[in-house]
Amino acid sequence: MPGNTSRPAKVTLNDVATLAGVDRSVVSRVVNGDPKLSVRPETRRRVQETIDKLGYRPNAAARSLRTARAYMYGLFIPDFANPVYAEIIKGAERAAGQLGYGLMTASSGGVRIRLAHYLDLLGQGRADGLLFAGEESGHELEQLRSSKVPWVLVNRRSPGSHRYVILDDERGSLLAVDHLVSLGHRRIAHIAGPESADTARRRRAGYLSAMQGAGLSVDLRHIAHADYTPAGGAAAMEHLLSMPEPPTAVFVANVASAVGVLHAAHAGGLSVPRDLSVIAVHDMPLAGHLVPALTTVRMPLEELGRRALELLASRPPEEDITEVVTDPAEVVVRESTAPPPA
């Protein structure tokens, strides 16, 4: 007969307090991140080290009942297949963890969860706030405003909204265009995102401003709108290549679209970067494994997610939030950009 086995005893608040040499209320307030707790830094550090050493985990259900909080935030995105959102999720999740919260993520793609259904779930007390990175409309903004859940738009603005955290997309466009200009390109096209997308409008505005700043005229036929997919990028590139005087370089508003651009250029008999230079906004590991490796503008997506959650957690729900995350942003030069053909 096998020997009796027993589970190790669960570490309690009293265990942590005894070993750390403090009152149990101090441990409780450290765990809950009480901003009014006034103790010496070394005491707070000793309590935290004891918590880590013993592996203490608070009773989430009891804590929620005691504080009327769910200790959970929600993040609503358009599509898990878009790798851009993986970086945003990473930053938001890290910030939530540092505050002692969890992060619940859902998308409008796949099972096609409607925002109203998601807000209904959150309104039942399952989350303390919502980061909304979905494709918004005026109707959805009204749903957010009428909900009882604090919310912040992420990576997008909507007319009439004063609660958002976005990237400096105009600056990202400037970095991309400046890189191409420095290589000697003058006929620079732009494959923008969907005309309805706030990110696409901001990147297009940045492109136009950067071209003007470089003293270059813009042929509006060299601006092609496409959705943020390889298929959309390929269709837009095919259109640009059909022009009598095609561009020598193209600035693409999204890495996924740039994958389609590279494919269309190859199918059209062009060599990148010998015949056509390509640069895209956002950077991710797959960009370095494309053929050729894709030059990108690395934007602070993880910082965007982190900052959005911090503001959601720290600002009253009626207070305006209009923040632009600017750093770090840089051009990552790879093999897809070079001087134009002679």
Count the Cβ atoms, other than its own, within 10 Å of residue 86: 15
Q: Which of 184, 212, 171 is nearest to 298 (CA)?
A: 171
Instruction: Please report which confidence band the pLDDT of residue 309 belongs to, taking 50, 70 and 90 as the band edges.
Output: very high
Q: Does 335 have pLDDT greater than 60? A: yes
Span 206-227, pLDDT tens digits: 999 999 999 999 999 999 999 8
What's the confidence (pLDDT) of residue 64? 46
> How large is the average pLDDT for residues 99-128?
68
Domains of the chain are 13-58 (1.10.260.40), 70-167+302-325 (3.40.50.2300), 169-299 (3.40.50.2300)
In sequence order, which residues have a C-beta less than 8 Å from that of residue 327 and are 6 or more positions away? Answer: 300, 303
CA distances from 274 to 131, 260, 286, 308 (A): 43, 18, 22, 41
Assess contact for 167 and 178: CB atoms under 8 A: no
pTM for the whole thing? Answer: 0.76
Span 128-146, pLDDT tens digits: 888 988 765 556 667 777 7
Q: How far apart are CA 76 and CA 136, in angstroms?
A: 11
